[in-house]
Amino acid sequence: MSQQIDHVFDENRRFVPSEEFAANAIAGPELYDEAAADREAFWAKQSRELIDWHKPFTNVLDWSNPPFAKWFDDGELNVAYNCLDRHVEAGRGDRVAFHFEGEPGDTRTITYAQLTEEVKRVANVLTDLGVGRGDRVAIYLPMIPEAVASLLAVARLGAAHSVVFGGFSADSLRSRIDDAGAKVVITADGGYRKGKATSLKPAVDQALADRGDGEQATVQNVLVVKRTGQDVDWNDERDIWWHDAVATASAEHEAEAFPSENPLFILYTSGTTGKPKGILHTSGGYLTQAAFTHRSVFDLRPESDVFWCTADIGWVTGHSYSVYGPLANGATQVLYEGTPEYPEPGRWWDIIEKYGVTIFYTAPTAVRSFMKQGREIPQKRDLSSIRLLGSVGEPINPEAWMWFREVIGAGDVPIVDTWWQTETGAIMISPLPGVTETKPGSAQVAMPGIAIDVVDEKGEPVGDGAGGLLVVTEPWPSMLRGIWGDPDRFVDTYWKMFADKGYYFAGDGARKDEDGDIWLLGRVDDVMNVSGHRLSTTEIESALVAHEATAEAAVVGANDETTGQAVVAFVILKESFLKQHGPEGLAQDLRTWVGAQIGPIARPRDVFIVNELPKTRSGKIMRRLLRDVAEGREVGDTQTLADTMVMSAITKQVK
């Protein structure tokens, strides 16, 4: 079957960087030339400039056994030293590393000197618990400063962390602990979310309990942060209070150097079926690309910027752009524990105003939920400190991009739409803010030093103006080094499709426009085949979001007797529109609208107006479940949903 994807939706708006921004930008156009001249030399130079190597590397890339890459192989470094001590040693210890804001409103200001000291103490505690190089530590915490300190303390010891998102169940936690063979779990009594104290420790107790199958958990100790003060069950032999152990631990700790390819972390992605995949990242290459992309894509000025990435630390975005990239660069950040709606919808904008956030990095799903609530809410706050906006996690529809720019960015700040994955470790495709003429909805160009193409099923480039499969054609420093404990699955999942070419296939569809700029089209599994036309979900969704009534849309292909598959759309309306007009007749209007915007081929057979869409805990729409509804089936496995009630509500609305 052809893997070409038809292009149906045009977007012609263009935004050149302001002269002022371009003149002062951290990253200039010469980066592309340097990288094109010699990719490996380019990365070696970035690494030497951005990272302190205890033992300098001489080898850059070892690709003698693809797809198992080694970067900067003979070099040695300590990742935590690079994120902490070296800033203090250089006299920047008083700089704020984090403005922490808890959901109830408690705040803490943490300098680089303070964070360094805390991490040294935690490293000493972990050493006493027997954690050392090569061990694994599971981290199951809310978004509090102790989470950042935990990651760094584990990294400091040359052990690997496996962060499990706090919203996951005891079973998910146990399977991840087992798979990684974790020795210690770091958790908290609970955290604050939506105005309530939620609990974490009971899930750890349950995860570690004897299941009567003769398999003991590998965990020997549980280190517990007191966050909410709620009652917890206690196992004296196993459990240790963070505040007891860390307070009495020594604040002296020398960072030891570890080889560049020493594992840094495992992060589980759910995958579509079966056992979660433990994506493995290592040290030197990962840190190099995280730091380089953070600095150049966000135009970071560490002395004056306040950077806020809203992602939870349980996701890769939180790893690379709340911890490793920004801290390696000595940035000042905001860390917020809770949800955007508590105590009321404007909380994020209050935080931006309060801390003078200059660079704001979030997900399209958040932007669309703000569009739904209406622009009056952010417009009541002073957001004038913002000078750059970033987006990650899903394609951002052109209309959401425009809203983001106009309402949050005062109509004149650059937006960087950054494409990457847990597997890629760091940003791969993005505009450079002082260089690229941006197009709403396009992630645009491969980063300097990154080789991307859009190909057909044989691996041949589709060329400008056509759609197909997004591939990475050359190894990159922060690439995943494997799936934990399963090298065959690593090869099968990512490298088999284009084995003869040696391309990494990412699972995403994309299109190159006439200028060669890249537009992400969603997962290729979600591509619809309507009367022989292969249509992406993204373009039809973007057309729906371009209607004044719509805040968010998801489309799926449902079996259809005449067309093979038919387009079925699920749409969330803007609250302001609902107040003025109500939903009557809107489904028909939206069908006609899409027909006019794109053409009859893409006109949805059905449009359902709904209040919510099914999303994963990291905010991605789960179209598989909507397909079940559209085809009248029993809805499939909803375990990975953030809110399992959403599907019954949608099923009811559809009926």
What are the beta bridge partners of residue 336?
101
Whether 334 contacts 351, CB under 8 Å:
yes
Nearer of residues 420 and 593 to ligand WTA, judged by Cβ: 420
Applying CB under 6 A, does 317 fall inside the site for ligand WTA?
yes
Which member of 44, 177, 443, 594 binds ligand WTA (CB under 6 A)? 443
Which member of 57, 242, 258, 419 binds ligand WTA (CB under 6 A)? 419
What are the beta bridge partners of residue 417?
391
Q: Is residue 92 marked as binding?
A: no
Nearer of residues 258 and 268 to ligand WTA, judged by Cβ: 268
Which member of 122, 255, 392, 400 binds ligand WTA (CB under 6 A)? 392
Which member of 281, 523, 534, 603 binds ligand WTA (CB under 6 A)? 523
Count the site residues for ligand WTA by CB under 6 A: 21
For 36, phi and psi rounded to 5 degrees?
-70, -35
Whether 112 contacts 89, CB under 8 Å:
no
What gap in Å lies between CA 356 and CA 653, rounded to an integer?
42
Whether 163 contacts 209, CB under 8 Å:
no
Joined together, the tokens standing for residue 270 give 């759910």
- Residues 241-270: x where in contact with ligand WTA by CB under 6 A, - otherwise, as a string: ----------------------------x-
From 171-179, 256-264, 416-424, 497-505, give the range in contact with ligand WTA by CB under 6 A.
Answer: 416-424
Site for ligand WTA in 606-625 (CB under 6 A): 618
Angle at which helices 623-630 and 645-654 cross, to 10° = 30
Applying CB under 6 A, does 393 fall inside the site for ligand WTA?
yes
Applying CB under 6 A, does 508 fall inside the site for ligand WTA?
yes
Which member of 299, 394, 552, 628 binds ligand WTA (CB under 6 A)? 394
What gap in Å lies between CA 435 and CA 361, rounded to an integer?
19
- Beta-sheet pairing, 196-199 with 190-193: antiparallel
From 11-19, 342-350, 502-510, 596-604, give the range in contact with ligand WTA by CB under 6 A.
Answer: 502-510
Angle at which helices 284-297 and 39-50 cross, to 10° = 90
User: Minimal distance in Å, beta carbon 64 to ligand WTA?
Assistant: 28
Closest by Cα among 204, 199, 194, 276 to 235: 204
Closest by Cα among 636, 437, 560 to 12: 437
Q: Is residue 393 marked as binding?
A: yes
Whether 550 contacts 571, CB under 8 Å:
yes
DSSP assignment of 410-476 = TTTS-EEE-B--TTT-S--B---TTTPPB-TT--BSBPTT--EEEE-TTS-B--TT-EEEEEE-S--
Which member of 316, 497, 524, 549 binds ligand WTA (CB under 6 A)? 316
Nearer of residues 150 and 538 to ligand WTA, judged by Cβ: 538
Q: Is residue 419 marked as binding?
A: yes
| Runs of H (alpha helix) within 356-390 | 364-373, 376-379
Applying CB under 6 A, does 520 fall inside the site for ligand WTA?
yes
Applying CB under 6 A, does 395 fall inside the site for ligand WTA?
yes
Applying CB under 6 A, does 542 fall inside the site for ligand WTA?
no
Applying CB under 6 A, does 225 fall inside the site for ligand WTA?
no
Q: Is residue 131 marked as binding?
A: no
Known binding-site residues for ATP equal 393-395, 417-422, 508, 523, 534
Give the interface with ligand WTA as residue ranges (CB under 6 A).
Answer: 269, 315-317, 392-395, 417-422, 443, 506-508, 520, 523, 618
Known binding-site residues for Mg(2+) equal 545, 547
Known binding-site residues for CoA equal 193-196, 317, 531
